[in-house]
Homo-oligomer: A and B are copies of this chain.
Amino acid sequence: MITMKELAALTGVSQPTVSRVLNGNTSVNPEVAKKVWDCAREHNYQPNMIARGLNGSQTCLLAVMVPNIANPFFADVIKAIEGTAEKAGYSILTFNSDYSLQKEEKCLRLLQQYRVDGLIAAPSRDDEEGTRHFGELTIPWRILTRCSDRMDSVYVSHEKAGAMVAAHLLQRGIQRFLFVGKEGDDKGLGFERGLRTGGVDTERQLTVIWEEDRERLSSRIAAYMSSFSDRAGIFASNDMEALLVLNILQRVGIPVPGRAALVGFDNTFISSQIQPGITSVNQPVEEMCRFVVEDLIRQIQKKEKKPHAVRHTEFAANLVVRASTDTGSCSGGK
């Protein structure tokens, strides 16, 4: 891998001149420039970003931290971020926090060691304790897909989305509801609020189920469904959970959407490719990522390190309605 100094020796000029030719900031003698360019091409010169990063304080690296890369939603996020970052001349360092605060802190340490220019993170948790460590960061950063009072965030309101789902299910005439997700999840809270607004007695008509263990989750859901006989509206906290629920119901012989209307979250390819299609809350991933990357890069290049208030950028979610919530006959849709 040839360096500027060697290039300079070969063409008989000084290293700074080579730098000037290759970066084209200041004017140089056209003849010299041509000679240098030719020589650089001939030897396939590749600038050393490490050295460049050490000198100026620009590494042109962005870090992306997500809880689980294998989740299709986050895979989409990473793809979208990589896409727009690449166009802007930035490369990305990917970190998997595995829903562990400890790993998250390790990632934060690491990405600071690499002097990345900025960070885009989807934290595992959005409470005080789960986000405190972000406060100590000295680099520009953005929170994606979550909303926190204390941090710059780009997100879709899970709370509103939950209410939207509630409205949709109520419109279908459903009277019994199940939320499959963690207690206290914004989606769940919004769902509850939406139901209440629609006149539902959530104490009696809404159930929340969550188990880390897939098997136990399955059996609890099955037990729930067999405890009554009218139609249920089930809201799963993401498409993967929705897929699991669908799987359970189909296995137990409960028709969807006939006996249960099912709604997922994230609108990943799963929900559209499956039969029946699953109604799902769509987040405008592409737009959000483009916005967050461009916004972050803008801040980086303006070098406005500190002085800016906490900003929240909320994107609108929309419900993509599919067969899983068809109003259809209550008698076991095909």
A48: which B residues are within 8 A, CB to CB? 54, 113, 115
Interface of A, helix, strand, loop or mixed by DSSP = helix
State the oligomeric state as a number of copies.
Answer: 2
A68: which B residues are within 8 A, CB to CB? 79
Mark A75-98 against chain B: 1 for CB-CB distance below 8 A, else 0. Answer: 110110011001000011111100
Mark A48-77 against chain B: 1 for CB-CB distance below 8 A, else 0. Answer: 111101100001010000001111100110
Q: Tell me whether A50 and B46 are in contact (CB under 8 A).
A: no
Closest-CB distance, A174 to chain B (whole angstroms): 22
Q: Tell me whether B82 and A94 are in contact (CB under 8 A).
A: yes
Cα distance A32–B111 in the bound complex, in angstroms: 29
The yes or no answer to A275 lying at the interface (CB within 8 A) is yes
Q: Tell me whether B82 and A69 are in contact (CB under 8 A).
A: yes
Residues of A in contact with B (beta carbons under 8 Å apart): 1, 44, 46-51, 53-54, 59, 61, 68-72, 75-76, 78-79, 82-83, 86, 91-96, 109-115, 136, 138, 240, 243-244, 246-247, 250-251, 269-270, 273-275
**Could you show 20 A-B contacts with beta carbons less than 8 Å apart?**
A46-B109, A48-B54, A49-B114, A50-B54, A51-B54, A68-B79, A70-B72, A70-B75, A71-B75, A72-B72, A75-B75, A78-B94, A82-B96, A86-B96, A91-B93, A93-B94, A240-B269, A244-B273, A247-B273, A274-B274
